[in-house]
């Protein structure tokens, strides 16, 4: 397959230097973009978030968002990707290993590649289990940086317990999950952590907020506690590619009826019809 290396589409090779700052410090930012029917979904939103992440860590993107978008579309075409993801990252560049920023002559290193992947519609229909674990991340979880070790440890705990996700709590407050956002439903209303420094403002999360608005479902962008999570009528998680997954059990506690809830199903249905519209375009 092909990859994007800076501004070149080329055969996939190992081109990363041992002193690339992404490799040594996790000093960089990234995006994962879903591709459906050969077209990236919500590409503008992803690129705007990349730009925001870059600003927040004072990394100067090597090209404009529009130029980067054109390159990603070229990559998708070169790989004839129909359904899957684009992974893109920008590191602060390659220079002798010192913690502080390198000089202005050091250019960021941009890489992107694609991966063919089918949608997991069965998990979306049937739901899955989660575990609860402490959120041990830093205080800027709103930036999509390459520093993912706490997320890796949390997801590993989930997998070891036959769960799809690890839901994170900071003290009493539920924040999000290791690689997705969390919504709960109680008495017909939805609750999700506000988009502040404690969570990544997911593109899928934003889409779900829009859908709920369209469906006249009330969403409270308010924090909720671990106790409220366990007592919720419904829980679901959202992320690019896995989209919306109903959560039936957290640790050994069954959520609501133990089946995907009615509101969750409505949101899933509406989300799917957006895919359909996208495919028809």
Walk across the sheet containing 84-91 and list its strands. Answer: 8-11, 2-5, 109-116, 84-91, 28-36, 39-40
Catalytic choice (2, 144, 155, 241)? 144
Which of 203, 211, 212, 267 is close enough to bind ligand PMP by CB under 6 A?
203
Query: What tokens does 274 get?
Result: 């957006």
237 makes contact with ligand PMP (CB under 6 A): no
Closest distance to ligand PMP from the beta carbon of 242 (Å)? 9
Q: Which H or E element spans position 157?
A: helix 149-160
Minimum CB separation from ligand PMP for residue 40, in Å? 13
- Please select the residue that binds ligand PMP; options are 239, 248, 255, 267, rule is CB under 6 A: 239
Residue 204 interacting with ligand PMP (CB under 6 A): yes
231 carries an active-site annotation: no
Residue with structure tokens 């999000």?
176
Residue 180 found at the interface with ligand PMP (CB under 6 A): yes
Q: Is 243 in the site for ligand PMP (CB under 6 A)?
A: no
Nearer to ligand PMP, 89 or 151 (CB): 151
d(CA 70, CA 74): 6
Helix/strand/coil for 69: helix
C-alpha distances in Å from residue 113, one per residue of 30, 40, 103, 205: 12, 13, 28, 24
> Smallest gap, in angstroms, from Cβ of residue 35 to ligand PMP?
13
- Tell me how far apart the 2 most distant CA atoms of the chain are, in Å: 59
Count residues near ligand PMP (CB under 6 A). Answer: 13
Task: Report, as residue numbers or ranges, the catalytic residues.
Answer: 144
Residues in contact with ligand PMP by CB under 6 A are 151, 176, 179-181, 200, 202-205, 238-240
């Amino acid at each position: 397959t092909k990859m994007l290396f800076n501004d070149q589409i080329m055969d996939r090779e190992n081109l990363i230097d041992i002193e690339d700052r992404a490799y040594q410090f996790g000093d960089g930012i990234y995006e994962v973009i879903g591709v459906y029917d050969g077209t990236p979904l919500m590409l503008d939103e992803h690129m705007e978030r990349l730009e925001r992440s870059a600003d927040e860590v004072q990394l100067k993107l090597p090209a404009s968002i529009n130029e980067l978008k054109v390159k990603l579309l070229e990559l998708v075409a070169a790989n004839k990707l129909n359904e899957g993801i684009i992974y893109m990252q920008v590191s602060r560049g390659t220079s002798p290993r010192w913690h502080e920023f390198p000089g202005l002559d050091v250019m960021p290193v941009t890489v992107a590649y694609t991966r063919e992947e089918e949608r997991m519609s069965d998990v979306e229909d049937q739901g899955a289990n989660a575990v609860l674990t402490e959120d041990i991340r830093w205080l800027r979880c709103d930036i999509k940086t390459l520093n993912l070790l706490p997320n890796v440890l949390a997801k590993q705990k989930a997998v070891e317990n036959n769960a799809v996700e690890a839901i994170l709590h900071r003290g009493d407050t539920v924040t999000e999950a290791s690689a997705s956002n969390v919504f709960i439903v109680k008495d017909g209303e939805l609750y999700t952590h506000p988009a502040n420094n404690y969570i990544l403002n997911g593109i899928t999360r934003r889409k779900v907020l829009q859908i709920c608005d369209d469906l006249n479902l009330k969403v409270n962008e308010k924090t909720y506690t671990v106790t409220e999570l366990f007592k919720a009528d419904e829980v679901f998680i959202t992320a690019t590619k896995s989209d919306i997954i109903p959560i039936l059990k957290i640790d050994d506690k069954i959520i609501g009826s133990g089946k995907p809830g009615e509101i969750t199903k409505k949101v899933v249905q509406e989300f799917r019809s957006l895919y359909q519209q996208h495919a028809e375009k």
